[in-house]
């Protein structure tokens, strides 16, 4: 295996060294390519190239948007930012985009202890509802603890479902 950061012709003049091990660890914990690009001040293509050079298999792409939360996490929607702030504001340790037990490429929105949290942020989409139904079936099949939140609950500040985590 060739050293990370070297192409067929060696390092290019604008090459920026990155902490590859740290980057791979964060990626495996659920950080997105976009979030890593923001964190390290490079473009997403650079992150993709470095992950590939390090032998890391890429996850499927998400929606492509990225929002930085106050606690340093990165979210894929403004709804997730609100949930992250609620958890962080109460000192609840959590991770974002944790892999699911049935497929490391599938992700939940949050994980607190052994409880997954899903923010179902798209309404009135048959394609989204189909994916949601399949995911819920898998959660049940694997007997996972799950808290589901809707946009209405989040926008009205109804976090009663999350209060079980306190």
Question: What is the DSSP secondary-structure string of the chain?
Answer: -PPTT-BTTB--TT-----HHHHHHHHHTT--HHHHHHHHTS-HHHHHHHHHHTTPPPPPP--S--EE-TTS-EESSHHHHHHHHHHHHTT---EESPEETTEEEEE-SEEETTEEEEE----S-HHHHHHHHHHHHHHHHTT-EEEEE-HHHHHTT--TTGGGG-
Q: Report pLDDT for 98.
A: 94
- The number of C-alpha atoms within 13 Å of 129 and in the hemisphere containing its C-beta is 4
List pLDDT tens digits, range 38-57. Answer: 788 887 788 888 988 898 87
Q: What is the mean pLDDT of the chain?
A: 85
Residue pointed to by tokens 């604008």:
14
Q: Which of the four pLDDT bands, split at 50, 70 and 90, describes residue 8?
A: very low
Domain-by-domain residue ranges, the chain? Answer: 20-53, 67-165
Alpha-carbon gap, residue 68 to 89, rounded angstroms: 15
Alpha-carbon gap, residue 11 to 158, rounded angstroms: 52
Alpha-carbon gap, residue 61 to 41, rounded angstroms: 20
The CATH superfamily of 67-165 is VSR Endonuclease (3.40.960.10)
Residues 6+ positions from 135 with CB-CB distance below 8 Å: 106, 118
Q: CA 15 → CA 39, 114, 123, distances in Å?
A: 16, 40, 43
List pLDDT tens digits, range 100-144. Answer: 999 888 899 999 999 999 999 887 778 889 999 999 999 999 999
């Amino acid at each position: 295996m060739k050293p990370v950061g070297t192409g067929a012709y060696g390092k290019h003049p604008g090459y920026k060294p990155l902490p590859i091990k740290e980057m791979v660890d964060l990626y495996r914990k659920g950080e997105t390519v976009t979030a890593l690009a923001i964190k390290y001040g490079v473009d997403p293509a650079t992150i993709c190239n470095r992950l590939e050079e390090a032998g890391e298999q890429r996850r499927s792409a998400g929606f492509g948007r990225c929002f930085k939360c106050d606690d340093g996490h990165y979210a894929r929607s403004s709804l997730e930012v609100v949930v992250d702030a609620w958890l962080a504001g109460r000192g609840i340790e959590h991770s974002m985009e944790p892999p699911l037990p049935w497929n490391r490429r599938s992700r939940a929105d949050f994980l607190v202890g052994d409880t997954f949290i899903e923010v179902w942020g798209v309404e009135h989409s048959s394609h989204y509802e189909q994916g949601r139904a399949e995911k819920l079936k898998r959660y049940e099949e694997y007997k996972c603890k799950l808290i589901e939140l809707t946009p209405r609950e989040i926008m009205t500040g109804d976090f009663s479902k999350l209060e079980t985590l306190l």
